[in-house]
Structure 1
Amino acid sequence: MSTEDDLSHVPLLELFREDAATQTRVLSDGLLALEHAPADATALEACMRAAHSLKGAARIIGLQNGVDIAHLMEECFVCAQRGELTLSASHIDALLHGIDLIARVGETNPAEAVTRADVDAFAMRLASSHAAPRVSSSAAAGTTTGSSKDDEEATMRAALALLGADAAALGGGSPRTASDAFPDAAKPAVEPEPQPASARERMTRDAGRMLRVRADNLDRLLSLAGESLVESRSLKPFAESMLRVKRTQREAARALDAFYEALAEHLDPQVLASLGDVRALLSNAQQLLAARIDELDRFDRRSANLAQQLYDEALQCRMRPFGDATHAYPRLVRDLARSLGKRVRFSIVGSATQVDRDILDMLDAPLGHLLRNALDHGVETPEERVAKGKPAEATLTLDARHSAGKLLISVGDDGAGVDLERLRAAVVRRQFTDEDTAARLSEQELLEFLLLPGFSMREHVTDVSGRGVGLDAVREMVTAVRGAVRIYNEPGHGVRFVLQLPLTLSVIRSLLVDVGGEAYAFPLAHVRRTLELPRDDIDMLEGQQHFPFEGRPVGLVTAHQLLGADAAEETRASVSVVVIGDEHETYGVAVDRFLGERMLVVQPLDARLGKVKDIAAGALMENGDVVLIVDIDDLLRSVDKLVRGGQLDRVRRAEGVAARQRKRVLVVEDSLTVRELERKLLEKRGYAVTVAVDGMDGWNALHGASFDLVVTDIDMPRMDGIELVTLIKRDALLKTMPVLIVSYKDRDEDRRRGLEAGADYYLAKGSFHDEALLDAVRDLIGEAHG
């Protein structure tokens, strides 16, 4: 369905509101620019065109109040363009009020709708802003005699006439257009007939065109792109299996060649001819297979590259310029500064910085709080600044940029900064701590109090601040997206708040762990530490297991109980523990083992599932396996509930661990005799042994259980030992596991092939004896009960 088809189903009023939002943004930006440069021709032109567009849009759907407001604004800009009017602060105030009215035009709620009285009041306010500077015009019109009331009415009438509006227009009629008021200026120059645009011109013109796309559609697109990326990577194992077929075919050809040469003198010509035909067919098959494998390899590379590009572009669709969220801030700063009697030059740096859509939506309230805080608490009045030797106009900057893989957003001013002694006194006055403790607090510790709920340095509540509900909202938002807040203070010269945020919520760096044979992901931003905890260090305290961490006891819980997984049958001498939480609430979560770190593409769970307990989302790993991403906050609540109920399962202590825990060895050998010999030798020494009949069977076994060592032969059907070693060393989860090759091939070149593939030890069967194998195993992984 085309965009035009989509728009045809959207009510006209909704389309007008979207158009009004765009045009009022242009008007707001233009008016704020004109306040500093009233004669800026570019800004005047942009404002006039925006007002004209609003008037036309309102007329199309029959919003007469909108037509009148936009017309009055348009006439004001035309007057300024002709030099008959110089825009002052009062003009800007009135016109900004007009923007607010335009935003309410078409509102269905009677309490919010714009009435004729609102339009009349706006016209009068706009006219009154002309009154003072145009007294001489009133005098020229013969209105200087009589009472002050007559002068005011005459001045108002003259101003209204200047705007092309009369009493009838304000009473509900149609205002005159710019062409009525200024016939010379309103007649546009005759423009040439527009020529059809070329395809290239149309593409250039439409390159920056914005389209409306539903957020859930983008999420599905990203999810499908991620799945496409995973599927594209499945071609490589298939291509590798085809290479094994090619090698098998080559060996068959060599065997046939040897057979042909050995029997060439003993067979009659007809048989030799038949064998020659078979050799030719096999050679052709080899060439055809080699060509197809080459094509498959090229297709694999193209497919993987295309899938990666598709995923990158889909991910980029979630990114928006930082400027999309900052349009309202210049107006907010300007209005609040005027209400506080302060002069501020506000600048936004990094408007083009790309920000994740979800993070951008969450930034509105926190940044608004920071800007209001800077204006109310940080920036001084012009008189105070001049007395301190500063420019009367303060500087307030909102900056966004990428740095070291993070999004940094800062709000800084050149005001008075934070008075640390006043802050210290406020901390005591608000009873956050006592005087002795407050006196020992460092500067950074003191500044942290600014972010606490209910804290304010104001002694009295005003309509701007004093309730202590501002900066805590900033900290809450930053914590929600796994970020941080930093405060940089320079007393007397200003303060800067810096928000350190992730670049995107779509991709997170996670710690993968194994719990009951399933993979789970802990977002690294919430992981304080990972450690292998000796079971002897686990103590009981008030009926709950604890372990020492950073000089204090920390509670220990099991991931099996929290996530509803089956408990592991075997226990090791140590426990893999993920430490989560903050300085106020910290727990250690015992898991089966660590699987490493991964960058995961977040896949939202199906909405029909509702909120899944302790799970935030899902993701796909490179091999296509699904991994669940843990909701740390939810997990902490679950732990707290189990602690209060006294229902926590316990991690087994160290008693009897050595007797139960044995190191596991996978023996991959196609010879039954050799396989059983190796198994009995290793089991007799105390190792737990699993056997596999060939390389493919061994590869499947590695994905079904964990092992400490692989002992493999080289010559095996389906997958030989060299291929198995290569796959193990390429796998991110298995590459650290040692591999021992035991083979009859004892030539130097065979040994070199094995070691180059990644084997840690090469043992020849020709010199094989019991102790040689056991010594090699001991060298690689130690004793069976380590």
Structure 2
Amino acid sequence: MNPEQLRDASMLELFALEADSQAEVLNAGVLALERDPVAADHLEACMRAAHSLKGAARIVGLDGGVRVAHVMEDCLVAAQRGGLLLSAAHIDALLQGTDLLQRIGHPPGGKLDWSETDGREEIDAFVAHMAAVLDDTAAAPVPRVRAPAAGGVQAPAGPVSESDPATTPAILPASVQPRASAHDGAAGADQPEPAGTSAPTAARPHATPRDDAAFSGESDGTQERMLRVNADRLDRVLTMASEAMVETHWLHPFGVALQQTRRQQMRAMQAIDGMQALLSSPEASVARMGAALAEVRRMLGDASDQLSQRADELDQYDHRASRLSRRLYDTALSCRMRPLSDGITGYARMVRDLGRALGKSVHLELSGEHTQVDRDILDQLDAPLAHLLRNAVDHGIESPAVRRAAGKPEEGRISLHARHNAGRLVIEIFDDGAGVDFDALRATIVRRGLAQPDTAARLSQAEMLEFLLLPGFSLRETVSEVSGRGVGLDAVHDMVRGVRGNLRVTQQPGSGMHFHLELPLTLSIVRALLVEVAGEAYAFPLGHVLRAASVRRDDIEQIESQQHFRHDGRPVGLVSAAQLLQRPERAHDDAAMPVVVLGEHDRVYGVAVDRLLGERTLVVQPLAPALGKIKDIAAGSLTDDGTPVLIFDVEDMLRSVEKLVADGRLSRVRQVGPETAQLRRKRVLVVDDSLTVRELERKLLAGRGYDVAVAVDGMDGWNVLRAEQFDLVITDVDMPRMDGIELVGRIRSEPGLQQLPVMIVSYKDREQDRERGLQAGADYYLAKGSFHDAALLDAVQDLIGEARA
């Protein structure tokens, strides 16, 4: 390499990007050629990738890269022309060349001249070996490249027959390592003990963040986070940003119109003052008084019409702005999303190489690789998925001889399927191996003292599979470079739980293991159940909520100094959210109290709250690092109306409950008797998709002393009604998901809600609209066009009386 051609690292960075991109094409294409050596499309794709890398290396001045890419291109062109049928030796050499090109692009320690100094011997050995393979004179084993410092999978020692593809020595990628991860020490395949000998590593072909920092001259702590954004998505964001800017221009003329209305009202007030002066004048006459009164009425009528028009315009603007902001947020959020293929690149190569290192022939089938996943989720999935795949190769797939004896194809198959389901990411990994020997698993459970023999004998298969997720648990008696330490599946389980997901392990009789991972699509937003505790709003992530229920006071039992209620036929402990949060507890003066049921398996508790506020989609905002870890709290957020919300850390909360129970410090949930309940405030539920109208009605009613809850649409209102008790429902008609007429119909068809008063407040003030609402079962119909404070409050008082019973 001519140093003059590389005056800084920028040119090498360009080549590294090119090498990473083309390596993906080469790895996928060469693995496909291993299964079908004459596939013309894959031969063409691989040849073009090698040719592109040769040209890029020549431009940058990397002579070593030119030589490696050139001999690879010779091999592929010969196969294209029919003069060469690719064998296992050719495939191994092509894969090794791909790794070597990436190593040239990401030289160890960031040494720009690595390919001409430390790496020259390695490059010369590869070129010579490739030439020997092409001349069909290769007699020596494939030269091994030096391994990185991290341990990995070591190929079997000793001579192996090259005629059997399943036992051919694996040429494992050694130029790169898996990406850095919080789980590197535990979630990957069990790491070997440090040894003096180097070992090739079956790893994903990605440059490490440390290497990237070396090229850019930045340390790990100061490296700027980069994000690739699809150009079409960026265009949509810019388009919506321009729409938002245009929408803001509407506010100025609207403000001018409001000023005009205000001046009209001032003139009406002046006219009233004049009429009052006229009344005190001795020259007052009925005719003059009538004319003055008519003028005042006209002015007030004009002002009322203008205010109604302004209110309509403001509500329309609210709808437009809300819709635009939601579209803008959704599109901006999609910029964080990446296809799953970005995170699983190289898995097929890893499975193939590891299988060959263990004397097995294994093929990985991928589907759903274009499924969109949040970048942070994708980063955290790297180590767990890699471990599950390595585990399937090592533990699941049998040797070719065993598979032949069992009547199976010699080549084992591992499948990774990804899809979206009900707003969640579902990833399934299964293999066609022998699966777990349950007799051996039961014996291991007993030997490790995890269960008594009689208890272990009664365990079901599903219960025994749960033991595989325990820390330090392994079925292997000896430790190898791949497994035996038992530090893998528990780390996978911890990662899944850490992102509010769940992991299930199953096995069908006579088939391999099946891992089912269900994860959130993104960590940036969360669907949550909002509750009120001690006058403050909190949120339970729905992924941890088993049920939101209303528990009657008579159904609460005292068992072993703790309150319980029945859920799904079994007693569930009742705890107070106020005690967990160390907040003052409000006495529950209703016949029933709202309870959120949390947990899984035997760790199920009911958390009593003051009110259920309904489901919301919240944007997760991390708490300031200076605060440290706050007990029972994971993050914060804001609701649509700007109310701050703390999001519970449910796992932490369950641990807090268990500690209170163990210490005997769990207090009773406060309740009051029926005589005190008579003094309670009456509750009103306001259901309206307009934030303006919703807040106006809430403030009016709260100011009069009513206890007011709000819902953002008919479906949200229906969910709140089924969980809490109210004395009155005020609803709009036109709303998304469920309109007001359907909501009224559901209320009237529900036995426990048939007597609940319902008021409709709508802009539709035609007689047929009024009749339609009353026919649906509404008790009162108020038109927003003639809406004023007194009309609403008078109607509420007519229906349910004063705020306090």
TM range (shorter): 0.5 to 0.7
Give the corresponding residue for 2:96. Answer: 97
| CA displacement 1:200-254 (0-9 Å, x = unmatched) | xxxxxxxxxx97359xx99xx99x99xx99x99x99xx99x99xx99x99xx9xx
Structure 2 letter corresponding to 1:30: G
Structure 1 letter corresponding to 2:619: V
Q: Secondary structure at the match of 2:707?
A: coil
Query: Could you tell me whether the CA contact under 8 Å between 1:725 and 1:759 is conserved in 2?
Result: no
Q: Secondary structure at the match of 1:664?
A: coil
Q: Secondary structure at the match of 1:492?
A: coil
**Structure 1 unaligned runs (5+)?**
1-7, 136-209, 260-264, 668-694, 711-722, 742-747, 763-775
Q: In 2 relative to 1, CA 610–14 (structure 1 residues): closer, same or farther, beyond 3 Å?
A: farther
Query: Could you tell me whether the CA contact under 8 Å between 1:573 and 1:661 is conserved in 2?
Result: no
Structure 2 counterparts to residues 556-635 of structure 1, below 5 A: 556-568=574-586, 571-572=589-590, 575-607=593-625, 609-635=627-653
Query: Could you tell me whether the CA contact under 8 Å between 2:682 and 2:803 is conserved in 1?
Result: no
Structure 2 counterparts to residues 512-591 of structure 1, below 5 A: 512-533=530-551, 556-568=574-586, 571-572=589-590, 575-591=593-609
Answering whether residue 329 of structure 2 is matched by residue 311 of structure 1, we say yes
Query: Which is further off, 24-33 or 533-542?
Result: 533-542
Give the corresponding residue for 1:336. Answer: 354
| CA displacement 1:10-30 (0-9 Å, x = unmatched) | 944444333322121111112
Q: Secondary structure at the match of 1:433?
A: coil
Structure 2 counterparts to residues 271-420 of structure 1, below 5 A: 299-420=317-438
| CA displacement 1:498-535 (0-9 Å, x = unmatched) | 22223333332222111111110011222244444566
Corresponding residue to 2:494 among 466, 469, 476: 476
Give the corresponding residue for 1:107. Answer: 107
Structure 1 letter corresponding to 2:122: D
Give the superposition deviation at 1:400: 1.0
| CA displacement 1:83-118 (0-9 Å, x = unmatched) | 444322112212222222233224352899652122
Give the corresponding residue for 1:166. Answer: none
Structure 1 letter corresponding to 2:681: R
Query: Could you tell me whether the CA contact under 8 Å between 2:528 and 2:541 is conserved in 1?
Result: yes
Query: Could you tell me whether the CA contact under 8 Å between 1:456 and 1:468 is conserved in 2?
Result: yes
Give the corresponding residue for 1:35. Answer: 34
Query: Could you tell me whether the CA contact under 8 Å between 1:318 and 1:357 is conserved in 2?
Result: yes
| CA displacement 1:397-439 (0-9 Å, x = unmatched) | 2111223443221112222233333333333333322322222
Query: Could you tell me whether the CA contact under 8 Å between 1:620 and 1:627 is conserved in 2?
Result: yes
Distance 1:784 1:709 in 2: 16
Give the corresponding residue for 2:130. Answer: 126
Give the corresponding residue for 1:662. Answer: 679
Distance 2:757 2:80 in 1: 82
Q: Secondary structure at the match of 2:72?
A: helix
Q: In 2 relative to 1, CA 372–307 (structure 1 residues): closer, same or farther, beyond 3 Å?
A: same
Answering whether residue 216 of structure 2 is matched by residue 212 of structure 1, we say no
| CA displacement 1:598-646 (0-9 Å, x = unmatched) | 2333333455655444322223323332322111223334445666777
Give the corresponding residue for 1:204. Answer: none
Give the aligned CA root-mean-square deviation in angstroms.
5.4
Query: Could you tell me whether the CA contact under 8 Å between 1:725 and 1:758 is conserved in 2?
Result: no
Q: Secondary structure at the match of 2:109?
A: coil
Give the superposition deviation at 1:288: 7.2
Q: In 2 relative to 1, CA 581–487 (structure 1 residues): closer, same or farther, beyond 3 Å?
A: closer
Normalising by structure 1, what TM-score?
A: 0.65
Query: Could you tell me whether the CA contact under 8 Å between 2:22 and 2:49 is conserved in 1?
Result: yes
Query: Which is further off, 287-296 or 402-411?
Result: 287-296
Give the superposition deviation at 1:440: 1.5
Query: Could you tell me whether the CA contact under 8 Å between 2:366 and 2:415 is conserved in 1?
Result: yes
**Structure 2 unaligned runs (5+)?**
1-6, 140-225, 276-284, 685-694, 711-727, 748-752, 760-766, 782-795
Query: Could you tell me whether the CA contact under 8 Å between 1:321 and 1:355 is conserved in 2?
Result: yes
Q: Secondary structure at the match of 1:437?
A: helix
Distance 2:442 2:768 in 1: 76
Query: Could you tell me whether the CA contact under 8 Å between 2:132 and 2:138 is conserved in 1?
Result: no
Give the corresponding residue for 1:54. Answer: 53
Structure 1 letter corresponding to 2:610: D
Q: In 2 relative to 1, CA 405–62 (structure 1 residues): closer, same or farther, beyond 3 Å?
A: same
Query: Could you tell me whether the CA contact under 8 Å between 2:681 and 2:705 is conserved in 1?
Result: no
Query: Could you tell me whether the CA contact under 8 Å between 1:69 and 1:98 is conserved in 2?
Result: yes
Structure 2 counterparts to residues 258-269 of structure 1, below 5 A: none
Query: Could you tell me whether the CA contact under 8 Å between 1:699 and 1:724 is conserved in 2?
Result: no
Query: Could you tell me whether the CA contact under 8 Å between 1:521 and 1:630 is conserved in 2?
Result: yes
Query: Could you tell me whether the CA contact under 8 Å between 1:570 and 1:661 is conserved in 2?
Result: no
Q: In 2 relative to 1, CA 559–122 (structure 1 residues): closer, same or farther, beyond 3 Å?
A: same
Give the corresponding residue for 1:81. Answer: 80
Distance 1:293 1:533 in 2: 41
| CA displacement 1:152-201 (0-9 Å, x = unmatched) | xxxxxxxxxxxxxxxxxxxxxxxxxxxxxxxxxxxxxxxxxxxxxxxxxx
Give the superposition deviation at 1:597: 2.4
Give the corresponding residue for 1:192. Answer: none
Normalising by structure 2, what TM-score?
A: 0.63
Q: Secondary structure at the match of 2:527?
A: strand
Q: In 2 relative to 1, CA 587–330 (structure 1 residues): closer, same or farther, beyond 3 Å?
A: same
Q: In 2 relative to 1, CA 466–644 (structure 1 residues): closer, same or farther, beyond 3 Å?
A: same
| CA displacement 1:440-469 (0-9 Å, x = unmatched) | 222222222233322223333332222222
Distance 2:729 2:489 in 1: 57
Answering whether residue 16 of structure 2 is matched by residue 17 of structure 1, we say yes
Q: In 2 relative to 1, CA 102–285 (structure 1 residues): closer, same or farther, beyond 3 Å?
A: same
Structure 2 letter corresponding to 1:631: D
Give the corresponding residue for 1:143. Answer: none
Q: In 2 relative to 1, CA 707–757 (structure 1 residues): closer, same or farther, beyond 3 Å?
A: farther
Structure 2 letter corresponding to 1:71: H
Distance 2:606 2:306 in 1: 58
Distance 2:708 2:802 in 1: 10
Distance 1:698 1:370 in 2: 52
Aligned length: 618
Give the corresponding residue for 2:463. Answer: 445
Distance 2:527 2:45 in 1: 45
Give the superposition deviation at 1:334: 0.8
Structure 1 letter corresponding to 2:399: T
Greater RCO (Cα-Cα under 8 Å, separation 6 or more): 2
Distance 1:461 1:698 in 2: 66
Q: In 2 relative to 1, CA 130–725 (structure 1 residues): closer, same or farther, beyond 3 Å?
A: closer
Corresponding residue to 1:435 among 453, 461, 468: 453
Structure 1 letter corresponding to 2:420: H
Structure 1 letter corresponding to 2:519: L
Distance 2:24 2:697 in 1: 66
Structure 2 letter corresponding to 1:621: T
Q: In 2 relative to 1, CA 134–651 (structure 1 residues): closer, same or farther, beyond 3 Å?
A: closer
Query: Which is further off, 289-298 or 113-122?
Result: 289-298
How high is the sequence identity, in percent, across the aligned residues?
52
Q: Secondary structure at the match of 1:363?
A: helix
Answering whether residue 472 of structure 2 is matched by residue 454 of structure 1, we say yes
